[in-house]
Structure 1
Amino acid sequence: MTGAGNKDLETTASPRSVVRKETSSSEKKVSSNKGMSSSSVVKKDGSTRDLSSGLLGSQKMTSQVGNLLGSYCSVKLNHENYLLWKNLVLPMIRGNRMEGYITGAKKCPPEFIITYLEQEADETLEENLEYEDWIVHDQILLGWLYNSMEPDVAFEVIGNETSKDLWESINTLFGLKTKSNIAYYKREFQKLQKRGMKMFDYLKAAKKLADNLALVGRPMPLEDLVSQVLDGLDSVEYNPLVCQINEREEISWIDLQAKLLSYEKRLEQINVGLSSINLGQVSANYVGTKNNGGQAGQNRS
């Protein structure tokens, strides 16, 4: 409440707490049965002042919650996509200005407000509209988060009563698993070799491991990805191309794929040509041997 002589003596804002507000004796409380809101006061000059200043903000917030309800996360949280899910739901929550509910920055206001007149010692206990709004918005967000999960994940974090508690439970549940996934993907990447794989499949496997590392919060720098891919190639066949690429300061992933796929195709053409030459030599040798054998038989006869 604002105005000369007014004081706000607020207790700690927690659920079901009480805020005590002093109202100067120059203002009288107007009861709701006289056609005015219980949150309005009348001054000596007959003018009124609305004490429910948060009502308009509450209506705006309700509209934002409605917008959130109309937005559904296209990816349901499971045991393999935590960071992807988190990167999808957070912008939606932030876009509706509701991040404070899950971080705890927007604390639950007191449930009741005590208003009294300084000189008349007349106290009234009122319900705090902001408390009711906070509960409604938090519960809507809580339900929305549960609906963005696969059933098996939701069962593991069931029982949370606020969106903040649920958010913390999710982070705890997937925190340790994320660390183990990082170690696993790094080991798999270090073991990756092309060997008999087609180049397309080899590059696809390498990129998938790099993407998985990014999803668990450990994105691989491009230069490390390029280096790891080149190290997994056959040193004899691909050494000329590897040396050429290493001489460059940097190369994009798209350029690297194009060069490796083109080089593989060229190697296949060369191998086909060599096979044809070898097959021709074998055929010629066979024919020559057969002819020589026939001539030798004729000479003996």
Structure 2
Amino acid sequence: MADDKQSSPSGVPAASVGADSSQHSSVSRPVLSSHAQPPHHGTLVPQVGSTLTQPFALKLDRHNFSVWKTMVSAIVRGHHLDGYLTGTKVKPAEFLSSDIAGGDNVVNPEFETWIIHDQLLLGWLYGSMTESIATEVMSCDTSAALWTALETLFGAHSRSKMDEVRTKIQTVRKGGLTMSEYLRQKRQWADVLTLAGEPYPEKQLVANVLSGLDMEYISIVVLIEARPTTSWQELQDILLSFDSKMERLSAISGSQKAPGAACALAATTAITANMATTRPVTNGRNNSQYYSGNGNGNRGTSSTF
């Protein structure tokens, strides 16, 4: 008899485990809470996915609210719980009306369902923050209140940070960075603004990149600025190609220093000739095409670097 009552590690009697071994997969599925059971009166609480039973890998801190918010919002929408964040899923009355309940104070089953989902989501959100952030919004008792508090907390911080990022895009120069590092840095700052809902105009980003280049790039800068338009992808390919040509010319000349004006001029001449003579490639591949001005403001021939 004692053996019959032995329990498995999960706390389920061994006899029961054996009887249900054919349904092991359903038994082992993670659930949100032992309280997430269908309440009385026949109302079934929708099962929330097991993602919210685990801490979120990215912890909210002072510097990653935009990324954290984007990722958390996607997960919450995937579980159909976004109404609890936005407040559109209104909390039902706690008790049924006297007419329905026959004069007794009967708990509204929809209220029980709402509380289960809202509080589990609230706990998951708190568990997805660093301790310093959580303590600043600890007084919130619903998911919607917490979401609003976070947006308020990071609102002023985000606005000041966005101004700082814009200043960096406009003023930081290439200096000792490689061309690929310089372009990547500018692009990342622009992406930060996009994530914050304030995308940086591509035309302005291109102009800021060119204004941050040193004098050795003046020849290619003049060539790019003479073009009617230059996309970000086009700008990357032109500058990286120019930089590569200057490095090769510098290596041929035996110089260990940065390429001089002669190398820069030769590299520009090579790129200009390539832009002026190479015909469009129509091989079905996703090649980037670039256009040189023909002197009257119209686009000329196209080429691929």
TM range (shorter): 0.5 to 0.7
Q: Secondary structure at the match of 1:213?
A: helix
Is 1:179 equivalent to 2:159 in the alignment? yes
Q: CA deviation at 1:142?
A: 0.2
Q: What amino acid is aligned across from residue 76 of structure 2 in structure 1? A: I
Is 1:209 the counterpart of 2:192? The answer is: no
Query: Max radius of gyration: which structure?
Result: 1
| TM-score for both structures, normalised by structure 1 | 0.64
CA distance in 2: counterparts of 1:256 and 1:229, whole angstroms: 9
Q: Is the 8 A contact 1:68 1:93 kept in 2?
A: no
CA contact (8 A) 2:173 2:213 kept: yes
Supply the distance in 2 between the matched residues of 1:116 and 1:264 (Cα, whole angstroms): 81
Q: CA deviation at 1:195?
A: 3.4
TM-score for both structures, normalised by structure 2: 0.63
Unaligned stretches of 5+ in structure 1? 1-38, 40-51, 277-301
CA distance in 1, matches of 2:56, 2:201: 29
Aligned to 2:108: 128
Task: Identify the structure with bigger relative contact order (alpha carbons < 8 Å, sequence gap 6+).
Answer: 1
CA deviation after TM superposition for structure 1 residue 102, in Å: 1.6
Cα deviations across residues 36-55 of structure 1 (Å, max 9, x unaligned)?
xxx8xxxxxxxxxxxx47x1
Do the aligned partners of 1:199 and 1:261 also contact (CA within 8 Å) in 2?
yes
Note the aligned Cα RMSD (angstroms): 2.6
Aligned-partner residue type, residue 259 of structure 1: I
Aligned match of 1:253 = 232
Matches within 5 A, 1:160-239: 160-235=140-215, 237-239=216-218
Q: How does 1:51-200 map to 2 (within 5 A)?
A: 52=41, 55=43, 58-59=44-45, 61=46, 63=47, 65-70=48-53, 73-116=56-99, 123-200=103-180
Runs of 4 or more, structure 1, over 4 Å off, are 272-276
Distance 1:271 1:129, change over 3 A: same
Q: How far apart, in 1, do the equivalents of 2:144 and 2:99 lie?
A: 34
Query: Structure 2: which amino acid aligns with 1:105?
Result: T
What is the count of residue pairs matched by the alignment? Answer: 216
- Whole-angstrom CA distance in 1 between matches of 2:195 and 2:103: 57
Structure 2 distance, partners of 1:145, 1:178, is: 20
Shift of 1:181: 0.3
- Over the matched positions of the two proteins, sequence identity in percent amounts to 38
Higher strand share: 1
Residue type of the alignment partner of 1:95: G
Does residue 264 (structure 1) correspond to residue 243 (structure 2)? The answer is yes
* Structure 2 gap segments, 5+ residues each: 1-39, 256-305
